[in-house]
Amino acid sequence: MLQAQAEPLDKPESFEANIAIQGRAVEKCFGDVVAVEGANFEIPAGSFVSIVGPSGCGKSTLLRMMAGLIPKTSGSLTVHGREVEDPREDVGVMFQRPTLLPWKTSLDNVLLPTQLKRKPTEDDAERAMDLLRLTGLDDFCFNFPTQLSGGMQQRVALARLLNIGADILLLDEPFGALDEFTRERLNIELSRIVREVNATAVFVTHNIAEAIFLADYVMVMTPRPGRLADVVKVPFGRPRDISLMRDPEFNDMIGHVRSILGVEEV
């Protein structure tokens, strides 16, 4: 039986002086409803962290506060040592739906962050093509969203996110609407891409297996009011492939996270 060691992120083994995101007593209320309560955490730069918990536990709310999309009610929440007050250029966000512009090709959708600032140059177009290559879509650069599968559309959205130039990627169940096989393939691709660009990633999901497969650390949240019940360190090396999910140690870890949640299934 795997004895998973639950480690607080405020004591990472090799990242003590390099924290990307830090929360201290973070709380968010919507009127009388407490969505997130007393969250304390530190996310090491360059790490992949999953936030897992049942629906309505405050996972997405916490992610949106990290992104500066909604304000916290109280506490301290910093990115690279600066208090989060508004969206920032070094933080990119990806949601469940790709939200591509249907009248633009894959290449132009990836170029959109640049087009909103200035007229793209040849170098900008080449960088966008490099990102499409990174996501395996360079052969579909002139296709429109309606000509792409759901998984391919999400890859375009991921390439667009990377084109923002952010070194922190916040992902809110980006593959939740896809079929299981496509989702598994994209999880492998996401893990590879985040590693190649050396980004810090925070991934929200209610799927425990997905959370463990992707992450270096899993933040486990309780039902509302959302509290950070524990942080579990994932012991598996990288790169990972889908066969890891058949490993008895992997399944023991799923059971460990479920035991923290106090439920049989999430």
pLDDT value for 74: 95
Indicate the pLDDT class of residue 17, thresholds 50, 70 and 90: low
Q: Do 192 and 156 share a domain, yes or no?
A: no
Query: Are residues 135 and 178 located together in one domain of the fold?
Result: no
Same domain, 161 and 171: no
Same-domain status, 208 and 81: yes
pLDDT tens, position by position, 39-58: 999 999 999 999 999 888 89
pTM, full prediction: 0.87
Tell me the pLDDT band of 4, cut-offs 50, 70 and 90: very low
Residue 261 has pLDDT above 50, yes or no: yes
Cα–Cα distance for residue pair 5/15, rounded to 1 Å: 18
Q: Is the domain of 108 the same as that of 189?
A: no
- Same-domain status, 263 and 134: no
How many folded domains does the chain comprise? 2
Helices then strands, counting H and E runs in the chain, come out as 7, 10
The verdict on 82 and 204 lying in the same domain is: yes
Q: Does residue 222 sit in helix, strand or coil?
A: coil
More confident residue, 74 or 265: 74
Find the DSSP H helices in the chain: 59-67, 106-115, 122-134, 150-163, 180-197, 208-214, 248-261
Residues 151, 60: one domain? no
Tokens 């959370």, residue? Answer: 211
Query: Which of the pair, 1 or 129, is modelled with greater confidence?
Result: 129
pLDDT at 115: 85
Answer yes or no: do 133 and 235 share one domain: no
Residues 220 and 151 in one domain: no
pLDDT digits (tens, 9 = 90+) for 199-254: 999 999 989 999 999 999 999 998 878 899 999 999 999 999 989 999 999 999 99
Q: Which CATH number characterizes residue 186's domain? A: 3.40.50.300
171 and 149, same domain (yes or no): no
pLDDT in tens, 86-142: 999 899 999 888 889 999 999 999 999 888 888 888 899 999 999 999 998 999 999
Residues 83 and 3 in one domain: yes
Structural domain including 81 reads 1-90+167-266
On the question of pLDDT at 16 being above 60, the answer is: no
